[in-house]
Amino acid sequence: MLALIFSLLILVVILVNSFERLAMSVANAYLVEYNTQINKLSIRPTSIHHWQFPSIKLTVHNSEISITDLDLFLDTDMSLLSLYTQPLSSNKIMSLIEKISIKEIHAVLNPGVLTHEGKNVDQQGPTLALDLDKLPQINIGTTSLSLAGISASALSLTVEHLTLDEDGKLSTAISRHGNAIFQLDAHLTKKQWQVSSRLVFDELYTFLTELAAQALDTSALAPLLALKQESERIGLVFSGTLESNATLDLKSAQLESSHILKHSSLTLMQFDELILAPHSLSSAAEEPVAQDRVKFDIAGHLADLTLTLEPFTLEVSPSRHQVNSLLAVLYNERHDKRIIPLVATLLEPSTSTPAGGDKRQARIDEQQTIKLIFTLSQPLKYSFASNNIHLGHAQLMIRDAMLDASLSATDLSLQIPTQTQAFELTSDWQFAASREQALALSSLMPDEPSTFADNKTIADIRLGASSLSLAGKITIETPTASESPQFRLSINPNLQAQIDSVELVPHSIKRDSARKSADSPKFQFELKHLKLVSHDELVMTSSEASQVSLDIPRLTFSIGPTRYRHGIQTDVASVTKALSFDANSLKFSTLAMSHFRIINSLVNESLASSHQESNSTSTSKLTLSAFTLESEDVQFIQSTSSGDSLTVSTAMTRLTSLDPLVIKRITDSAEKDKQPIQISVPPLNFEQLDNELILKPVPSAEKNEYLAKLSGLYLSLDKTSSLTIADLTAEAMSQVLTENPWKNIAHYELNGAELTHHYIKNNRKRTEKLLGLYTASLSQTLDWNGVKLDTHENWQFDGMKFVSEHRLRPQIPTQANSSRLQLTGKLNLDSDLGTILSLVSNNYTLPKSLFITGDARLQAEYELNKNDHSTQMSIEFTPELTSLSGSINELPFEQANIQANCHYQIEQLNQSSSHEPLGTTISSLSCPDIQFSAAAFNPGVLITNIKAQADFSVSLDDKIVTEKVTEQAKAERTAQSPDVGKRPKSALPESLSAANIQMNASGDLLGGHLLLPEFNLRLHDKSHGYLVLQGLELEQLLAIQPQVGLYADGVFDGVLPVVLVQGKISISGGRLAARAPGGLISVSGNPAVEQMRLSQPYLDFAFSTMEHLEYSELSSTFDMAPNGDALLKVNVKGKAKGIERPIHLNYSQEENMLQLLKSLQIGDKLQTQIEQSML
């Protein structure tokens, strides 16, 4: 029995072993097409539907695979008979398997699996198409993967598990040396797939690094390895974990997926390992750990997927080395490398390292860094189908730098170009920058410390706290693939840029205190509250038709208080000059939109030629709108240490253009040297209000001060002027005037002009008015034809009007010719004399007793010639005064007329021509025919029918010394004058060289005639002349001032020799004689004579002879000293009534003639006499 049992066991073992060999043989025959062979097979069937395979070893494409504990569960409805009666297929076999369970798989892969051939080995045999519904349940344990010939410690992967249950739930995980790389969980149903995954980039990067280190053909992973290699080349290292959840609706093909980057960062190795670590913009209620992530979604139809990047923030604090390395890449050799230190300095921390001493503080400052913050505050969306990106809002900020700034974009839309879509970008944007601390411009140029070295005064420029805020919209689009891009950038209204202060720092402050010089000139220049504001939208566009188009909004640029101080050392060591300038505000405003255009066009030079050459022509045009430039409360002071000063102040100044200013330039590529610039200058208005000038000369006992005031100054140009500049060469600039004719009308107006002199005399403050002008205006037409300028002027001064014409011929100096200038003009004045005297009285103090009416006319022609050697001026003028009536010092006159023809000439030689230190001036004035007439003049004695003619000439020469008085002349003057050795100072100019004044006059006097046949005035010597008296009636002389009991008649003739010395008249040897037959003298009943007869009895006979004296001869002599003292000696011969013998009387009288004439000028008596004589 025992032997039977043993035999049965041996038979079973033989059957099983035979079955394993049979199964392996059948399987290998089937798997040979797949280049797969089973090398070892161990079978332990537990039932017909459950087969156990404790060990399987097989070779797949030269890869050795070992499977441990494989459990195979077959369909319970399976019939063994069907396995033999029906052909088997892959799908049939898979349908028979209900469940596969594997404990462990070890795979040593052939390195060829990493090649393109290994990747496509499945194409060598039939394709295995799997239906998820027909897949069995799968439960695979650990699967280790390694490459043949490579140690598993150097390169290996582990699939932790792979499961698929009956509900379609799939799960797997891949790790490397126990560190997870990838994890996948999926729920796969007929209607939808739900997938969640996790990818660790650090482990994936490490695995790829290990793989790349092996000498293998990895062409199958070429794209992935190329990406890794490129990231290493540019120095990018990405780390973090990607967690994804996706749901795909199989019926509608709608995908919804959510992806989260956790603990992600991007390290920029080339920038000193700068780390970029974004964070989610989660709410404050979320956990801080949840914020360390970035989320994005991919959703939509599979044919139209959309990527949505959720809001996040990225904050970077780069060191100085990282900033410099970053800028070196951004500004490569094609850019100006001088920008690098400038931008790097702006990005330095706002707290600067101390200059000395505090090393601890210096270390703290070195650790301080700036912050660069990028914030995506609204989701970013990208459409895979249309290649369009839309961004709700993003912002880039720079914090804690020398200049804090932020740039943000809103509603950004970017169309990535495709075969059917053109490139397009639109976005709203905002930019803001500010700085709260002062900033020295030299600190922005650390590599150029000698920026201001060439300036001996200014060492640096310091900017105060500043800010800039602007916003707008940008549009870039390409209509079609053949057209050039179109660019549009706009800045919204209310652009604001402001700087609290701008200060020029002098060298005296920058020097070390030990090196300061006590007498170094002081310097200060500071601007406060600089501000720029826009009032409209600024738009910049660019297209093929117009390369650049810029629409500039209305702008207002204002500057607050301005302060300037400068001390200057003069040529005199002990004297310094101080300059100061202050302005309360300065403002520039445009009144409308301005425009700038650059338009390119192509011009074919030869259409007939087979080799056509096209020249590009560029037209640039700037249209600056009407503008105003104004200032308030401006004051300028110049003073010296010696005490003199000049102060100029203005309450308000405004310059206004009435039309746009246009600048146009045409550039031709074929003629680059010819680039004409056309400038159109609009009508302008200029006004200044409340102007004041104070001049304080060198201090003296009188404390002189000159004060000038001008209430209003107004200038204007009525027409637009055009100017063309051929190019910017020196030769072309010299021809600008000759090649640009123009016409215009200018208006000038002054209001309230006043000049006064303030001084102290006898301890009292005194004021002298030097100039007073209520209003003055000038209207001038200008006509320039390229060679000469013709003008016509209408003048008005306080009601006095006159006109003038001028012609100016300038000659601009060249290498061949020196500069020349010729000015010719005409003047015509026709006004009543009262208006002129009123104007003069506002400027000079006229005698109170002066009263004149009449008309005044002046015609003048003049010419000015100027060259490098001399200046010459010639004036021909004809003054005329008519119908003059009035009085001078209460001496009346009527119907006076004055007319003259005069010529004035002056020549000034410069220093090189005259060999004099200051040059030489020679001038002459001549009036060869001066005509004077008057109906009547009464200086105490009425003179009528006055006529005079004069010839006047005078010359001045700087080389001739005035003093011509010889010692002999001085001796004579000393003998004649009680003031020994003294001579009155001449009021004549010292340079007066010669004068010739000749005149003659005539008039009717006392019934006779007064003649001045000839008079020659000598300025530096005695002037001689004589008065001729003809037919004077003695009776009319006594009638001037009648005396009681006094009567005389007769006709007299006489001659009075006149001598004029320094403006004073003397008469010596004057003679008067009565004409035959004589006349009558009667003195009777005169109270004064009666009193003398009683008091002096010895004179009784003499007076008795004069009671009725018929004289036959009467003569007299007359002498008068320069002071007016006169001596009159009278000799009378005749017969007295009642006395038979002839009477001979001698009489002498001393009287001051000046006082006598004054005594005759009483009340309105003289005017009455003139009025009676005119009847």
Whole-angstrom distance, CA of residue 765 vs CA of residue 704: 10
Task: Pinpoint the alpha helices (H) of 282-418.
Answer: 288-291, 320-330, 339-346, 359-367
Output the DSSP codes for 1091-1152. Answer: HHHHH-GGGHHHHHHTSSEEEEEEEEEEEE-TTSEEEEEEEEEEEETT--S-EEEEEEEEEE
CA–CA distance from 407 to each of 306, 382, 522 (Å)?
Answer: 27, 22, 42
pTM metric for this prediction: 0.71
Is residue 1045 within 8 A of residue 1016, CB to CB? The reply is no
Output DSSP code: residue 648. Answer: E
Looking at residue 721, what is its pLDDT?
A: 86
Whole-angstrom distance, CA of residue 304 vs CA of residue 323: 41
Looking at residue 374, what is its pLDDT?
A: 92
Nearest to 987 by CA among 1063, 1059, 930: 1063
Other Cβ atoms less than 10 A from the Cβ of 140: the count is 20
Is residue 501 within 8 A of residue 527, CB to CB? The reply is yes
pLDDT, averaged per 10 consecutive residues of the chain (1175 residues), comes to 41 57 76 82 82 88 89 76 58 76 91 71 44 78 90 88 89 92 92 92 88 80 83 86 93 92 87 85 56 88 92 86 70 54 60 45 53 90 91 89 85 85 85 81 58 57 83 77 67 83 70 45 83 88 75 91 86 83 94 86 47 63 92 92 90 93 77 74 93 86 84 92 76 74 92 89 85 90 90 91 92 66 92 86 76 91 88 92 86 90 88 57 88 88 90 78 45 45 47 73 90 80 85 84 84 89 84 89 82 80 82 90 87 86 84 69 47 48
- What are the beta bridge partners of residue 811? 820
Output the DSSP codes for 564-632. Answer: EEEEEE-SSTT-EEEEEEEEEEEEEEESS-EEEEEEEEEEES-SSSSS--EEEEEEEEEEEPPEEEEEE
Output DSSP code: residue 349. Answer: B
> Which residue type sits at 945?
N
Peptide bond into 939 cis (omega under 30): no
CA angle, corner 916, sides to 911 and 922, nearest 5? Answer: 85
Looking at residue 976, what is its pLDDT?
A: 46
Q: Which residue has the tokens 């993967």?
A: 145
Looking at residue 994, what is its pLDDT?
A: 66
The β-bridge relationship of strands 278-280 and 312-316 is antiparallel
Is residue 900 within 8 A of residue 925, CB to CB? The reply is no
Whole-angstrom distance, CA of residue 598 vs CA of residue 604: 20
Other Cβ atoms less than 10 A from the Cβ of 601: the count is 11
Looking at residue 449, what is its pLDDT?
A: 47
Is residue 230 within 8 A of residue 208, CB to CB? The reply is no
CA–CA distance from 211 to each of 61, 120, 182 (Å)?
Answer: 20, 20, 17
Domain boundaries along the sequence of the chain: 30-119+132-229, 238-350+369-414, 422-510+519-590, 1006-1173
Whole-angstrom distance, CA of residue 162 vs CA of residue 143: 9
Residue 1017 makes CB contacts below 8 A (sequence gap 6+) with 995, 996, 997, 998, 999, 1023, 1060
Task: Pinpoint the alpha helices (H) of 42-146.
Answer: 80-85, 90-96, 116-119
Which tokens sit at 461? Answer: 């420029």
Whole-angstrom distance, CA of residue 877 vs CA of residue 881: 13
- What are the beta bridge partners of residue 1075? none
Task: Pinpoint the alpha helices (H) of 662-803.
Answer: 730-734
- What are the beta bridge partners of residue 1026? 1057
Which tokens sit at 21? Answer: 């060999």
Whole-angstrom distance, CA of residue 774 vs CA of residue 839: 9
Nearest to 60 by CA among 37, 40, 41: 37
Q: Which residue has the tokens 């000034």?
A: 908
Looking at residue 574, what is its pLDDT?
A: 76
- Please give the distance of CA 628 from its chain centroid, rounded to a whole number: 13
Q: Which residue has the tokens 């297209």?
A: 543
CA–CA distance from 538 to each of 409, 485, 732 (Å)?
Answer: 17, 20, 35
Is residue 831 within 8 A of residue 855, CB to CB? The reply is yes
